[in-house]
Structure 1
Amino acid sequence: MKLRGLPVAADVGVRRTVMICVHVALWTASLLGAYALRFDFRIKPEHAQILAISLPFLLIFRLAAFYFGGLFRGLWRYTGARDLVGIVQWTSLSSAAYLLFLHFGIRGFSRSVVAIEWLTAVIVIGGVRFLARFLYARRFVVAEPGLSRMRVLVIGAGDAGEMLLREIQKRHAARYEPVGLVDDDRAKRGEQIHGIRVVGTIDEIPSVARELRVDEAIIAVPSASGAQMRRIVDLCKQASVRFKTMPGVDQLIDGRVAVSQLRDVDIEDLLGRDPVKLDMVSISATIAGRVVLVSGAGGSIGSEICRQVCRFGPSALVLVERAENNLFHIHRELLARFPKLELVPCIGDVSDAQRMAAVFERRRPAIVFHAAAHKHVPMMEWNPGEAVKNNVFGTKTLADMADRYGVERFVMISTDKAVNPTSVMGASKRVAEIYVQALSQRSKTRFVTVRFGNVLGSAGSVVPIFKEQIAAGGPVTVTHPEMTRYFMTIPEASQLVLEAGTMGNGGEIFILDMGEPVKIADLARELITLSGLTPGEDIEIVFSGVRPGEKLFEELSVDSESADKTGHPKIFVGRFRPHAWEQIQRQLHDLAASVDHPGEVRKRFAEMVPEFKQPVAAVPAPADRPAAAASSSDRPIAPRAATA
């Protein structure tokens, strides 16, 4: 706390002076106590004389040792094991110096006094510091008037549970009262962590919660799989207790637990994917010290790629985005998090060749992550020409600039909808893949494509739409009972994009392991349940029919690509499929000429992508047929039907 009326420097000086005076008094008392103990509290005049002569030298040795050890700079309320080690270390060093002084300078001294004084000094100096920490922590135990403490059950008696208990007892004891822990390790039953007993296993949560009158459970298992999280959540619901969770191990701040990080269990936790293990050395070697450009920098994937790139120390990050507001937000966030990094916000459309040439000319990026794209399937069915402009020719423009300006690596973000596409959006991304692969055969730039499925929580995706519908009281609309999709989290996808970007020699299509597909109807039920409601009772689920261009099941690769393993367990690589450059140029010319004619666009796509199959009936105009029509239920249907 700052002393009133004193500047900060004076405040620190006064505090340090007081600290030194306290130490001097304690060391003096330690030496006096050592003589008293050694001689049964009957100190002879000759020993008193030695004490008086040697005390100043002991204090000088101690002050010098503690000063050089930095032990006068710590705040006592944060005293820990490291401070205790320092006290023992520097007390021992100064005691050794004191012993040498006595040996060569004073006759008749008692060596046992030095040993007793050393032990006493360690005990009193360490004890006073830990007492200060204890008294400071007690400030947070007194509950506010009229506010009862919440009785908390901690699920998980491992390192995370221990850190959580320590944090609660240290800073939040006025709000939370830990009453027990549960853990699947039966050997821990009956053991205590910071005075809190392990009272049972996770399966016993319902009975433990009733017995201990638990108000809230905190899940302290940051490495829990999706299946484990679903099991814990179900048990908490059976116990009728509220529940929160800690963030995943990759999201903990410096590996430490903070109560402020506790949050509600989200659908990402229930789907539960293992944390990504990155080759930090390879990624750092690729990105560190280089100029990196990210297109679509304000989008869900693009913004996360920017966050991940910043961790590896590029010399500059160029953010290309045509939506001014999105660019403003990601630029402001990155400025706050990485103030020393040069950030270059560029408003621009990737299909604007003149603007892109100006950006490349001025900034000369070494690495490009191309995440700009139109992604909504029905929107591209209704506006196929825009899919051509942005997804095909926007990619072509950016790839051509990368080739012209000598970019080292170009990483294009693609989608599982490009595999055997049934939609305009999927076909447009497949054509973009083909062009990038063909260009890689003629360029020194390493062009690679990274293909993956849906990401949880991205703008306009299924999870935010479901949450909106639940908040509005329902119904939750799903297109088809058997509709399934692959899912991964935004950070996971972005991290794997960076990893894949370090691989390959050019022309490869890298395919991310998306795990097991998830039924959209099951996803809807989980979200309703997480909201504290019951599917079919509180919130209805209705089926609206498959929308234009949608498939019931998505695929990640075609047979001819025959994806092979790479050095990373979650990244596969498709075999290269050569493409004739002249033929592609001619087909792109024809595609550009048909951009304002939807029927011609689909025809050109079918020529370029033979596997593109689209039923004619699946392409209505938006004015003719609302998105949620053709329901399989008699209930009223919300105007928005969600899919992935």
Structure 2
Amino acid sequence: MLIRPTFRRRIAFFLVGDLLLGVLSLYLAYALRFNFAIPSHFLDHFWRIYGVLMLCKIGAFSFFKIYFVSWRFFGLKDAKRLLLAHLAAYGLFAFLFLLFSSWFNPMPRSAIVIDFVLSLLFTGTLRISKRLYLESAGIPGYRKTLIVGATPKAVRMIKSASSGDIPYFPVAVVDADPNQWGTYVENVRIHPLEEIESLTEKEGIEAALVAATFPPEELNRLVERLGKAGIKDLKMVSLISDRHEPLKDIAIEDLLARKPKDLDIDAIRNFLQGKKVLVTGAGGSIGGEICKEVLEFGASRLIMVDNSEYNLYRIAEEVDPKRSSAKLLSVTDREKLGKLFEEVRPDIVIHAAAYKHVPLCEANVENAVENNLVGVMNVIDLSISCGVQKVVNISSDKAVRPTNVMGATKRIGELYAQNVESGDTEIVSVRFGNVLGSSGSVVPKFKEQIQKGGPVTVTHPEITRYFMLIPEACQLVLQAAAMAKGGELFILDMGEPVKIVDLAKKMILLYGKEEEIEIEFTGLRPGEKLYEELLIDDAECKTKYDSIYVAKSTRYPIEALRKDIETLLNGEEKLTLLKKIVPEFLRREADRLIRPGEEPPKRH
């Protein structure tokens, strides 16, 4: 750690180096002046001359900020400043010599001219040596960098760059605050945001570090602007406390994140505090995040259920083991699940277990129907028999006018939750769209395709989806559950739908590979819609929260529903029986609907 470069150590290193090189250059200048036979009387005042000359040089170097330049970043502009510093230093020495010539003599004046040249050569070589070594050794260079935002994070990044902690060389800072323009952050000048393009062209900027916080819409525009300016390497500065990973790639999640304006933390905490909570599908993207949120908001006990050993192990490693337990079993196994319910007697049950991947469900209809329907019925029935206070059934936007098996089974789960005789147990379903970064979603798929060099595959140029960050979606689920009285179908406001091809283009831009990676359209897959919907019609109404809607109830006599589900589970014609329960189910096969010529449903 003693040799780790820091601001003070760098100054001390170059100061000692300049003192040593100063002795060498002055003595060599004397030797060259006298053809390596220096008369002894000319050395009488050597150290006096050296001392004054070095004071002049150190003063000039400090004035021209030569000691502030990092070893590996020394360039043409710095060489120019070094020349000016030498001219100033030797000019000052000449002035002192004229005033106090008797104090310096005997002094070979031509040796001072030689020393000027040698000193400029030696000090310049010292400062550019590391850069020459890195470039000649093929070690990746340090990229000229623009910092966006004159913030404490910007100060930290400039210091980190100077210390060699990050492979970037900040040459300019841009900020929206006019009061900052023309001032300096760690000797780097602050410019208006409007100068991004001109600075990029003038300085040859290759990278940008975003050190300020922007809303997703503004960050979107900034990323597009930086991309158009030719900056391919985009990074976001993380929290100041994160010393080991100060930078992260700007992710598509940062651009699409939509913070709910009416998130009621107190309502969620009051709902969960001191409760025993059982979560099915705990190892999945949604279930896992709900487990973390449940403990974060004060649940006394968390019981995590999943039939995937690896997924359950992974979430168990991420939560407090003192307040949680992991149970490896399937929600379709009613006997084992019943024993668990009897044993733990949960206060709240959150059912997130389901087969959710549309193409896999289309290819495995029987398994999808069994897992999704038997699972939701077992969880709801056992919750009622064990006196669970509240059951939350996680549903999907694909349950609206479903065109696939997964969506149809989710819709039946909603119907069962709404119509079952629940006694004192309050049962609620919460429907929402895609979450960013969940397993099997387009975001990790696109990332993998980009990293492999493409192409990025999009099913259709017009396909759109709703997106929300996983933590935000899960918090809204818990908030909806907190306000539920039983029998509701809540719908989360997912914002505006996103065109998948635009999402793909933006991800390619973030990776800086617009010219390398192509987008390939492959056609809609079986069961896939062009447009997902969250609302069925205008009958839905808002709750006291703008981010949460409640749908009107759909009545379906429970005995008839149970009988129809049993027939579906035991019958051969699964698709026909699904359509009997969900009349709006129109299964899409590959790139067409079962009904020829049917238009895609309109968005609401």
- Give the Cα–Cα distance (whole angstroms) in 2 for the partners of residues 496 and 379 of structure 1: 28
Specify whether residues 419 and 497 from structure 1 end up closer, same or farther in structure 2 by C-alpha distance, changes over 3 A only.
Answer: same
Aligned equivalent of 1:188: 180
Deviations 1:218-258 (CA, angstroms, capped at 9, x unpaired): 112334223533433432552435220145xxxx58xx565
- Give the Cα–Cα distance (whole angstroms) in 2 for the partners of residues 559 and 426 of structure 1: 17
| TM-fit CA distance, 1:345 | 0.4
- Give the Cα–Cα distance (whole angstroms) in 1 for the partners of residues 432 and 300 of structure 2: 29
**1:217 partner letter:** A
**1:329 partner letter:** R
Deviations 1:189-233 (CA, angstroms, capped at 9, x unpaired): 2244566542221x3223224445545321123342235334334
Specify whether residues 364 and 466 from structure 1 end up closer, same or farther in structure 2 by C-alpha distance, changes over 3 A only.
Answer: same
Q: SS of the residue aligned with 1:231?
A: helix
Specify whether residues 243 and 442 from structure 1 end up closer, same or farther in structure 2 by C-alpha distance, changes over 3 A only.
Answer: closer
Q: SS of the residue aligned with 2:245?
A: helix
Aligned equivalent of 1:86: none
**1:311 partner letter:** E
Alignment equivalent of 1:200, drawn from 167, 192, 198: 192
Q: SS of the residue aligned with 2:250?
A: coil
- Give the Cα–Cα distance (whole angstroms) in 2 for the partners of residues 349 and 505 of structure 1: 28
- Give the Cα–Cα distance (whole angstroms) in 2 for the partners of residues 319 and 414 of structure 1: 19
- Quick one: percent identity of the two aligned structures? 44
| TM-fit CA distance, 1:527 | 1.9
- Give the Cα–Cα distance (whole angstroms) in 1 for the partners of residues 531 and 587 of structure 2: 15
Aligned equivalent of 2:525: 547
Specify whether residues 322 and 532 from structure 1 end up closer, same or farther in structure 2 by C-alpha distance, changes over 3 A only.
Answer: same
On the 8 A contact 1:217/1:236 being kept in 2, the answer is no
- Give the Cα–Cα distance (whole angstroms) in 2 for the partners of residues 408 and 144 of structure 1: 68
Alignment equivalent of 2:165, drawn from 168, 172, 175: 175
- Give the Cα–Cα distance (whole angstroms) in 1 for the partners of residues 412 and 236 of structure 2: 43
| TM-fit CA distance, 1:616 | 6.7
Specify whether residues 476 and 213 from structure 1 end up closer, same or farther in structure 2 by C-alpha distance, changes over 3 A only.
Answer: closer
- Give the Cα–Cα distance (whole angstroms) in 2 for the partners of residues 568 and 615 of structure 1: 35
Specify whether residues 390 and 246 from structure 1 end up closer, same or farther in structure 2 by C-alpha distance, changes over 3 A only.
Answer: farther
Deviations 1:289-332 (CA, angstroms, capped at 9, x unpaired): 11111111111111111122221121111110100011111111
Asked if residue 405 in structure 1 is aligned to residue 390 in structure 2, the reply is no
Aligned equivalent of 2:92: none
| TM-fit CA distance, 1:173 | 3.7
Q: SS of the residue aligned with 1:243?
A: strand
Asked if residue 162 in structure 1 is aligned to residue 152 in structure 2, the reply is yes
Aligned equivalent of 2:95: none
Alignment equivalent of 2:365, drawn from 379, 384, 391: 384
Alignment equivalent of 2:583, drawn from 610, 614, 617: 610
- Give the Cα–Cα distance (whole angstroms) in 1 for the partners of residues 512 and 157 of structure 2: 28
- Give the Cα–Cα distance (whole angstroms) in 2 for the partners of residues 559 and 451 of structure 1: 15
Specify whether residues 312 and 619 from structure 1 end up closer, same or farther in structure 2 by C-alpha distance, changes over 3 A only.
Answer: same
Alignment equivalent of 1:528, drawn from 462, 484, 508: 508
Asked if residue 495 in structure 1 is aligned to residue 495 in structure 2, the reply is no
**2:325 partner letter:** V
Q: Note the 1:184-333 alignment, pairs <5 A.
A: 184-193=176-185, 196-201=188-193, 203-212=194-203, 214=205, 216-236=207-227, 238-240=229-231, 242-246=233-237, 260-274=245-259, 278-333=263-318
TM-score, length basis structure 1: 0.66
Alignment equivalent of 2:563, drawn from 576, 586, 593: 586
| TM-fit CA distance, 1:366 | 0.9
**1:442 partner letter:** S
Q: SS of the residue aligned with 1:263?
A: strand
On the 8 A contact 1:167/1:258 being kept in 2, the answer is no
Aligned equivalent of 1:458: 438
Q: SS of the residue aligned with 2:311?
A: helix
- Give the Cα–Cα distance (whole angstroms) in 2 for the partners of residues 144 and 511 of structure 1: 60
**1:307 partner letter:** K
Aligned equivalent of 1:511: 491
On the 8 A contact 2:305/2:328 being kept in 1, the answer is yes
**1:593 partner letter:** N
Q: SS of the residue aligned with 1:458?
A: coil
- Give the Cα–Cα distance (whole angstroms) in 1 for the partners of residues 177 and 484 of structure 2: 44
On the 8 A contact 1:513/1:570 being kept in 2, the answer is yes
| TM-fit CA distance, 1:273 | 2.0
Deviations 1:381-430 (CA, angstroms, capped at 9, x unpaired): 12111121111110010111111111111111111110011111110000
- Give the Cα–Cα distance (whole angstroms) in 2 for the partners of residues 232 and 538 of structure 1: 19
**1:456 partner letter:** L
Alignment equivalent of 1:574, drawn from 532, 551, 555: 551
**1:323 partner letter:** S
**1:320 partner letter:** V
On the 8 A contact 2:528/2:588 being kept in 1, the answer is no
Deviations 1:526-561 (CA, angstroms, capped at 9, x unpaired): 222222212xx522222222211111111102127x
**1:501 partner letter:** A
Q: SS of the residue aligned with 1:546?
A: coil
Q: SS of the residue aligned with 2:483?
A: coil
Q: SS of the residue aligned with 1:502?
A: helix
Q: Which runs of 5+ in 1 are unaligned?
A: 2-142, 621-644
- Give the Cα–Cα distance (whole angstroms) in 1 for the partners of residues 216 and 444 of structure 2: 23
- Give the Cα–Cα distance (whole angstroms) in 1 for the partners of residues 190 and 440 of structure 2: 44
Q: SS of the residue aligned with 2:249?
A: coil
Aligned equivalent of 2:423: 443
**1:183 partner letter:** D
Deviations 1:353-390 (CA, angstroms, capped at 9, x unpaired): 11111111111111111111111112111211112111
On the 8 A contact 2:277/2:346 being kept in 1, the answer is yes
Q: SS of the residue aligned with 2:429?
A: strand
**2:488 partner letter:** E
Aligned equivalent of 2:328: 347
| TM-fit CA distance, 1:474 | 2.4
- Give the Cα–Cα distance (whole angstroms) in 1 for the partners of residues 305 and 392 of structure 2: 15
Aligned equivalent of 2:536: 558
**2:550 partner letter:** V
Q: SS of the residue aligned with 2:173?
A: strand
**1:574 partner letter:** A
Specify whether residues 510 and 275 from structure 1 end up closer, same or farther in structure 2 by C-alpha distance, changes over 3 A only.
Answer: closer
On the 8 A contact 2:524/2:590 being kept in 1, the answer is no
On the 8 A contact 1:205/1:239 being kept in 2, the answer is no
On the 8 A contact 1:207/1:239 being kept in 2, the answer is no
On the 8 A contact 1:412/1:450 being kept in 2, the answer is yes
| TM-fit CA distance, 1:150 | 6.0
- Give the Cα–Cα distance (whole angstroms) in 1 for the partners of residues 158 and 297 of structure 2: 34
On the 8 A contact 1:276/1:492 being kept in 2, the answer is no
| TM-fit CA distance, 1:178 | 4.5
- Give the Cα–Cα distance (whole angstroms) in 2 for the partners of residues 162 and 241 of structure 1: 24
Asked if residue 419 in structure 1 is aligned to residue 400 in structure 2, the reply is yes
Specify whether residues 528 and 152 from structure 1 end up closer, same or farther in structure 2 by C-alpha distance, changes over 3 A only.
Answer: closer
Specify whether residues 566 and 185 from structure 1 end up closer, same or farther in structure 2 by C-alpha distance, changes over 3 A only.
Answer: farther
Q: Note the 1:9-28 alignment, pairs <5 A.
A: none
Specify whether residues 467 and 408 from structure 1 end up closer, same or farther in structure 2 by C-alpha distance, changes over 3 A only.
Answer: same
**1:584 partner letter:** L
Aligned residues: 457
- Give the Cα–Cα distance (whole angstroms) in 1 for the partners of residues 361 and 330 of structure 2: 18
Deviations 1:49-80 (CA, angstroms, capped at 9, x unpaired): xxxxxxxxxxxxxxxxxxxxxxxxxxxxxxxx
Specify whether residues 169 and 231 from structure 1 end up closer, same or farther in structure 2 by C-alpha distance, changes over 3 A only.
Answer: closer
**2:449 partner letter:** Q
